[in-house]
Amino acid sequence: MRNFLSRFWTYFFLTFITLSFANSSYAIDIKVWDLSGRSGQTELYEILDKEVKKYNPDINVVLVEYENEAYKTQIQLALNGNDGPDVFFNWFGEDSARLARAGLAMDLTDYKNMEGGYGNFISEAWQNAGAVDGKIYGVAIKAVSKYFYYDPAFFDQHNLSVPTTFNELLDTCRSIRAIDSSIVPWPMGNSERWKLNHVITMLNQRVVGAENSKADYALTASEDELFTNPKYVEAWQKVVDLQDAGCFNDAPNATHPDLTRSMFASQISPMMYCGTWCGNIFSSEGFEDFKMFRFPRVEGGADDGTVGFLVAEGLQVSTKTKYPKEAALVASLSVADDVALADAELRGSLISNPAKIDQMKDASHWFTFYVNDIADKSGHVNVLDVLLEANVSNAYLDMGTEILNRTKTPQEAMDFIRKVALEAKAAM
Amino acid sequence: MSKFKLANILAYGFVTLFSIYVMMPIVVMVLTTFKTRREIFLKPLSLPGQYNFISFEKAFGIGLGGFMFNSFIVTLFSVTLIVIISGMAAYVLARIDFKINKFVYLLIVAGFAIPPAAVLVPLYTTVSNLGLLNSIFGIVLPLTAFGIPFTVILFFAFFLDFPREVEEAATIDGCSKLQIFFRIIIPLSGPAIASAAIFQTVWIWNEFLLALIMLNLDNVKTLPIGLIKLRGEWTSDWPAIMAGLTIAIIPVLIVFLLFQKYFVRSLAGLGK
Amino acid sequence: MDKKSSHSNSFSLSNDRFSVIFLIVPALIFCTVFIFIPAFWVIIGSFYSFGLTSLNDWEWVGLGNYVKAAQDEFFWIALKNNFIIVFASIVLQVGVGTILAAILDRGIPYGKVIFRTIIFTPMVISSVAVSLIWLIIYDPNVGILNAIIKSIGLSPPMRGWLGDPNISIWMVMIVAGWQYTGFMMVLILAGLQGISKEVYDAAEIDGATGVSAFWYITLPMIRNILIIAILITTIGAFKVFEFIYILTQGGPSNATQVLGTYIFLQAFNLLHMGYANALSVVLLIIALILGWLQVQASRRA
């Protein structure tokens, strides 16, 4: 009995200890965290790895992927711990600035013009997309925007025209329902709260305007004025109008965004407000004959409909990395000419370094549209859940849910947001 | 025949209805794996039109096998540690006369009441500072800690009832206290060990919260976190998700069906 | 040395310091490092304000976080939801579980083992898997629940089963009940099977059979098991996390928030670590009271 037991425990502990050391390696591994679910990403990182090795053959680029929802939480936890990434993806806005201010994202200003530095590849405008208080805390790789996608075959068949104003959009919805009340004109999948948030971002831009919202968003407005502009209420009312016109499906808060994408791709629904990442998704689900139009201007609104949704995205470097120079190099080279080209081809990204874009093989019709349309816009607005302070952002997300559920009126929603904003401002 | 009165019929009816309520989601899950996405959209109530294993291939492709292996390792190590450490501690508490006995026992019960959610952040920081994030070792240790209180209570009750004659006889024969514990008590504690092992295995196999926070790399993720990843990757590819769930559930179900007598018996022990 | 009469005091470890220490220290180390020290930090941290991105920047606020909790409508909603879950679970899981146990014990002559196995099965499935399965059942566009409701002519809720703040918590309860009722049933069944047949025979002589026998004879005899079942359910209701996290994430707009998920939201989404710690302390206190009750109850059983 004793022999058996002691042998058992010996093997037990040996196995235990071996398994816990199973993951050691010897070269310089630069861990890059990025979002999952994007086709072509693995190949892209292999190309980045090759590019990095031209400058420093000892570096291995190791990709770790996370799905979208968990990412925001995981990244904050990881950056505070000891086992986080060296380089990581982030949306550029409050999300990236917060990390910079907290000392968790590295200042990359000094690496701009080193050999392989990002300053060699992207314009100053793009560099500044990753800037906080004049210093650069991230390399902007690409941007995402949003458009209305529509099914021209359906529109032609029923003599519908592309709406250019908000009221025309309401009419389009009503017409579609009149054709067949079981068709959902514009499926809204808000179960993760951000789908409607993108819409209210645009509505705020169209109705309230960039100038009038700047101070509120940055929480620099005075306490008497913070989020008191009645135009914010009007923007929420537009959402109610959309819902009343029958644009959306029932139960939008219980519907997942991916499902609505499938509805458009299967041509069950003729319209969809979706990101520039959606073109490839529709194509992969078998639908390529779609077209796009911009978020319409609102009659009597504060802007003329040419400002579009734009969120810059890129890579930041963790201050806890053991290899700052190598990590900065990896982040920089992600916008190198060949890598940027590969990014456009593999992930369909709207890249920040257009040097080789003419060499792009088989640019899809939607990609060409995006690139041209973005260059054409007069200005850009960042999405609220990346732009706003965490609590205010959360409030906006929750109010979207309540507006769709009709559990709060637009005025009540803004009262709540104002309350949260005041608390956040006081805590600053 | 007189057994089948009205009361019996009602009784059967109620139990059958409840059993249908229990089985329906599992049946739905399995049938969904065989449907195509169009079928799910357009004809939710119908049976699948074809029976192939495409969705299962997808599910395996995402690494379910690896997640299950990780869960297996984590469960094996955690449960073993919990049973041994708890058994040792409970034996002391059951055989000692000091006043401090009560205090330690209460301390351990307090440990049982503390939910992981309430201590998540310092726990994360501790594991991180020990350099154990994203490692099997790193998840086994806290899981072991959280499983100890309940198991100590279980063993404590068992050892209290355990007659001391055997230990006395062994003492007379010249065995040291530790020898008595490891060579006599443990072999005779079969039922308690089985109960403890069953409870802890089910709990740890399904544990979610700690794994969510501590296991971020795919190569160490356990099954529940892997299932979430499944959903993140294919949110509207329901056949694939259901295939993944089916694969995840089947082994546990088989084990349960084979050993259900022991599961039930250990629960009966808990009630006492 | 011939103490054959022995019981409690004859064999004891009290004199063997080394053995005592060797046997008990591992458990104490584990619990201290991973349970008590974190709990201690949670309590200390509740008196400060700090965020995840400023972990070294602790600002003393005294009872400020607790005052904030008292004024926070979502904290009260979360607490209320925990209590709703407690009571609903007791009625559904323990109540229905008892009925099922009674039926399986003496209500049906055949098929006991089959029904018991079927109804207990959900217990061995991960709560995560359970939630994911029910997600597709509840889906407003492709779920079968909607399809069934429509096929019998009724119309499903416009905001969705999980998107409607009035019913979402109950839909979550249906999922929880699906998983845990079997557990309660088996637990109580074990207690019922401990009652000897003679008791029922004696009762029958006095004219009590069937339902009245159950009410006046059986229930009092399983009183202790019922108390334990209720306590286990209650403790579980305060620990609930997976169901809410996967089914609704606390939504729509915090309508299904519970303490566990609200702590998670405050700590990891909104970065109010100090505040999250205060909420955790509340949860700790409740949990400790329940734990103490559990110990008392099982001592008397």
Contact A303, A312 (CB under 8 A): no
- The domain in which residue C257 lies consists of 72-300
Instruction: Check whether C1 has a pLDDT greater than 50.
Output: no
Contact A249 C52 (CB under 8 A): no
Contact C103 B109 (CB under 8 A): no
Cα–Cα distance for residue pair A86/B95, rounded to 1 Å: 53
Instruction: Check whether C140 has a pLDDT greater than 90.
Output: no
Q: How many domains does chain C have?
A: 2
A:133-152 residues touching chain C, CB 8 A cutoff: none
Structure confidence at residue A19 (pLDDT): 61
The domain spans of chain B are 6-42, 63-271
Across chain A, which has 428 residues, the per-10-residue mean pLDDT values are: 66 68 66 84 93 91 80 77 85 87 89 89 85 89 92 94 94 94 92 92 92 90 92 95 93 88 89 90 87 92 84 92 92 92 87 83 85 76 88 93 93 95 87
Q: Which residues of C touch A256 (CB under 8 A)?
A: 139
Q: Both C242 and C133 in a single domain? A: yes
Q: Where are the alpha helices (DSSP H) in A102-161?
A: 124-129, 152-157
Which run of H or E residues covers position A133?
none
Contact A93, A387 (CB under 8 A): yes
Token readout for A423 is 């608390």
Structure confidence at residue C299 (pLDDT): 66
Token readout for B173 is 């024969």
Q: Both C167 and C55 in a single domain? A: no
Identify which of B135, A291, A345, B252 has the alpha carbon closest to the alpha carbon of residue B127: B135
Cα–Cα distance for residue pair A246/A185, rounded to 1 Å: 8
Residue B98 main-chain phi, psi, to 5 deg: -65, 155
Q: Which residues of B touch C13 (CB under 8 A)?
A: 91-92, 95-96, 177
Residue C249 main-chain phi, psi, to 5 deg: 50, 25
Tell me the CATH number of domain A23-144+311-355, given options 3.40.190.10, 3.40.50.920, 3.40.50.620, 3.40.50.2000: 3.40.190.10
Q: Which CATH class is domain B63-271?
A: mainly alpha
Instruction: Check whether C188 has a pLDDT greater than 50.
Output: yes
Contact B18 C100 (CB under 8 A): yes
Q: Both C83 and C150 in a single domain? A: yes
Cα–Cα distance for residue pair C71/C271, rounded to 1 Å: 19
Identify which of A308, A325, A167, A315 has the alpha carbon closest to the alpha carbon of residue A247: A167
Structure confidence at residue B267 (pLDDT): 65
Partner chains of B (3+ C-beta pairs under 8 Å): A, C
Three-state SS for A333-399 is HCCCHHHHHHHHHHCCCEECCCCCHHHCCCCCHHHHHHHHHHHHCCEEECCHHHHCCHHHHHHHHHH
CB of A12 within 8 Å of a chain B CB? The answer is yes
Token readout for B270 is 């808990």
Q: Which residues of A touch C138 (CB under 8 A)?
A: 254
Q: Which residue has the higher pLDDT, C8 or A373?
A: A373
What confidence tier does B125 reach under pLDDT thresholds 50, 70, 90? confident
List Cβ neighbours of A14 (8 Å cut-off, separation of 6 or more). none
Structure confidence at residue B86 (pLDDT): 92
Partner chains of A (3+ C-beta pairs under 8 Å): B, C
> Residue C131: what residue type?
S
Q: Both C30 and C117 in a single domain? A: no
Length of chain C: 301
Q: Is residue C42 part of a domain?
A: yes
What confidence tier does C9 reach under pLDDT thresholds 50, 70, 90? very low
Cα–Cα distance for residue pair A33/A85, rounded to 1 Å: 6
- Cα B162 to its chain centre, rounded Å, is 27
Q: Which residues is A318 bridged to in the sheet?
A: A105
What confidence tier does B234 reach under pLDDT thresholds 50, 70, 90? low
Q: Which residue has the higher pLDDT, C299 or C48?
A: C48
The C-alpha torsion from B154 through B157 and B161 to B165, rounded to 10°, is 70
For chain A, first and last CA: distance in Å? 66
Percent of chain C with pLDDT over 90: 14
Report helix, strand or coil for A10.
helix
What is the ipTM metric for this complex? 0.81
Contact C163, A191 (CB under 8 A): yes
Q: Long-range contacts for A354-361 (Cβ within 8 Å, ≥24 apart)?
A: A355/A121
Q: Is residue C65 part of a domain?
A: no
Cα–Cα distance for residue pair C160/A253, rounded to 1 Å: 7
Contact B264, C120 (CB under 8 A): yes
Token readout for C13 is 């470890």
Find the mean pLDDT for residues C261-281.
87
Report helix, strand or coil for A276.
coil
Domain A146-309+381-427 has CATH 3.40.190.10: yes
Q: Which residues is A143 bridged to in the sheet?
A: A312, A350
List Cβ neighbours of A368 (8 Å cut-off, separation of 6 or more). none
Among C25, C60, C95, the domain-final residue is: C60
Q: Both C52 and C159 in a single domain? A: no
Stated pTM of the model: 0.83
Cα–Cα distance for residue pair C278/C208, rounded to 1 Å: 54
Q: Both C50 and C177 in a single domain? A: no
Q: Both C217 and C111 in a single domain? A: yes
- CATH 3.40.190.10, chain A: domain bounds: 23-144+311-355, 146-309+381-427
DSSP summary character for residue B98: -
